Structures are given as structure tokens and as C-alpha cells.
Amino acid sequence: MNDPIMADMRSEYSKSLIQLGHDNPNVVVLGADTTDSLNISGFGKQFPDRFFNVGIAEANLVTISAGLAASGKISFASTYAIFLPGRAVDQIRNNIAYPSPSGKKGLNVKLVSSHGGLSVGPDGGSHQQIEDIAIMRVIPNFRVFIPADTVSVSKLTQLMASEYGPFYMRMARSKVPIVHSESQEFKIGKGITVKDGSDCTIAACGITVRMALEAAEMLQQDGISCRVLDMFSIKPIDNEILEKAARETGCIVTTEEHNILGGMGSAVAESVSESYPVPIKRIGAQDMFGESARDSEIHLLLEKHGITSFNMAKQAKELRNKQL
């Protein structure tokens, strides 16, 4: 594989927000003292009347976003993942997801976090949110996205703005490789087949999509045809693409920078076990917290939890061997 082009999700998010700000006067953006870090302060400079920085008060951030949405605004509320689902789950549930105006489900708030997963790096385990998918996908009315790259961030931000209802989207802190083409379509509840294959499947999300592609390449060298899915839409999950993968490839490895309990892997396992059960192996944080790692060491932290291309390929092979 060629060296990937690396790009920053937060800058892309900021750019998308500013575009939305121009397109739709109802878009409002809220932050909690991380607005420079998340780049959303750019929106604030262009649209000061529609930008609110509530300070280090995430519960307040979430509930004010809900109040704005109750009055017809499209609220984008952002801070680090650890402080959103990780901190304000009561407000997320009771102030955004639960209130359902006539004929609608939940309020029109988009929670977009940065610094998801282990790749947060140096800040350490206290800041590495590995539970947010589990928390967010069990809350009724919420839809959950994990974008793999900046193309995804841009398209999903627009998608969330145009689609009524509560969404959670988690971005990574560090620059990420671009895996999708600009023409890639994103639909709610539809996974993307990034690479086709017939012998096994790796279902990935976020930064692990690129790793999965690398794993597929390794498997290719061993004569194994591996399918790679970008399961960016974790809720709703794409049952169809998963059943197809199960039927056609016979086994699925899941991979994510999230606890293996309750995350994307769990969602895949739930789906496949009901449609077409096949062996599944979940790769992710091994039900233990993360720890500090400098940017140059993040791969070591990920490796500690088995989140590497090599391990993905290895697990895929093992699953395949079980079947043969």
C-alpha cells in the first residue's frame, strides 16, 4: 500500500460547521473550553451569535444544546469524548434522547466528540474514552457514527445536519489516513465495503479501517481474500452487509479502539448471531484502561491491546482455519 495522506479530523469538522453555518441559520455550535482544541472556535468567529462556550461544564453544555434544539435550532455540541458520554450521560439521555416532540424521536442535537479511544495517547488512561460506543448505542433514539477519515467527517457532519434527531459522532485526536474517495457516499445504517473479498471479513471503524486494509493486504500475500468493511454507522448497524459477509466469507474479525465489551464488535456479534451465525473475533481494548503513550508510541499502546494489522490478519487466519 502507498503511504497514506494524513489529515486532521477536527479541522475538517470545523470547516464543515462553517459551511453549515452559511447554509443554515439554525445551526448553532456549543463548546466547553475545548473550542480551540476542537477548532470549533472558527465557527464562533464567523457566527458569534450562534456560538456558545459554556466553560468546563459538560452537563450544562449538553442540556443547553437540548434547550436550543427544543426551540428549532440544530445544535452541534462538542468536546472530548471522555467528557461527553463519559461524563454527561444523564443529560444526554434525559435532555436529548428522551424528550420527543410530537411525531419525532429525541431532540435535534448532534454530539460530536474528539479524542476518542486509545489513540488519545499522552494524556493517558483518564482521557482515553473506550466506553462511549457502549454508552451511546444503548440510549434509544441516538444514532452513532465513528468516522474513519476526514472524508467521512465532512460527509457525516452534513448528513447529521440534514437528518433530524440526536446523533453521536466520535473523532480521533491525531491525524488519520484518508481511506475514502471524495465521491464515497455515506448513508445512515449502511456500512461501506472498502475492499471486497471472499475468504474472511474484517469489520472496522475509525482509525482501524486503514489497519484492516493493511491486514487484508498481508492476507492477500498468503492467498487469502479478505473483505474489509467500514462500519462507521454503529447504530443503526448495517445488518444486511453483515449477513452478506457472514454468508459469503464465513467469519468476521471486528476491530476498534474501544472496549471489546459493548462496542462495534458487540454490535456486529449481536447482528450476525441473529441473522447468520459465524465465528467472530473481537479486537479492541481488552477490558482494561489505556495509559499514556507519546505520539510516536501510540502504536505500542494499540499493540498492547492487539489493535494491529498483524493481529487482525492473524485472527482472521485463525478463524478461517477453524472453519476449514
Partner 1 sequence: MGLNYYQIKKNVLRARKLVIKATNTAGSGHPGGSFSMAEILGCLFNKHLKFNAQDPQWVDRDRLVLSKGHAAPGLFSNMAVAGYFPESEIETLRKFGSRLQGHPDLKCPGVEFCGGSLGTGLSYSIGIALAAKIDSKDHHVYTIIGDGESDEGQVWEAAMTASKYKVDNLTAFLDRNFIQQDSYTEKIMPLDEKLDGDDISEMWKDASRWKTGDKWRSFGWNVLEIDGHRVEQIDAAITKANATKGVPTIIISRTIKGKSLEHMEDNPQWHGKAPDSDVVPIINSELDSQFLISPSIIAGDMSNLENEVKRCVTGRSDLIHLDVMDGQFVPTKTFDHIKIKELRPLTVIPFDTHLMINDPVKHVNDYIDAGSDIVTVHAEVTDESSFGEIHDILKQHQVGVGFAINPDTELPEWSYKFLSSLDQLIVMSVIPGKSGQKYIEETHSKMSRLNSILNENNFSGCIEADGGVNLENIGSVFADGARAFVGGGAIVGQQDVRSAIKDFRNVVLKSRRRMLLDKANQLGGSDLVNKWIGLHVIGTKQEEIKKIAQECGYL
**Rg over CA atoms, the chain:** 19
Cβ 178 vs Cβ 150: under 8 Å: yes
For the chain, the residue count is 324
Using CA atoms, how far apart are residues 256 and 156, in angstroms rounded to an integer? Answer: 19
As measured in angstroms, the least distance from the Cβ of 112 to partner 1 is 17
Give the active site residues.
58
CA proximity to 111, closest of 66, 155, 176: 66
Using CA atoms, how far apart are residues 190 and 174, in angstroms rounded to an integer? Answer: 26
Please, which residue, 60 or 220, has the CB nearer to partner 1?
Answer: 60
Using CA atoms, how far apart are residues 43 and 56, in angstroms rounded to an integer? Answer: 19
As measured in angstroms, the least distance from the Cβ of 44 to partner 1 is 13
Task: Please report, as ranges, the residues that interact with partner 1 according to CB under 8 A.
Answer: 28, 49-50, 52, 54-55, 57, 59-60, 63-73, 75, 90-91, 94-95, 98-102
Q: Using H for helix, E for strand and C for coil, what is the string for 45-71? A: HHCHHHEEECCCCHHHHHHHHHHHHHC
Please, which residue, 72 or 223, has the CB nearer to partner 1?
Answer: 72
> Which residues in 93-120 are b (16+ Cβ under 10 Å) and which e?
bebbbbbeeeeebbbbbbbbbbbbbbbb
Please, which residue, 68 or 146, has the CB nearer to partner 1?
Answer: 68
As measured in angstroms, the least distance from the Cβ of 45 to partner 1 is 17
Please, which residue, 60 or 193, has the CB nearer to partner 1?
Answer: 60
Using CA atoms, how far apart are residues 179 and 193, in angstroms rounded to an integer? Answer: 12
As measured in angstroms, the least distance from the Cβ of 321 to partner 1 is 50
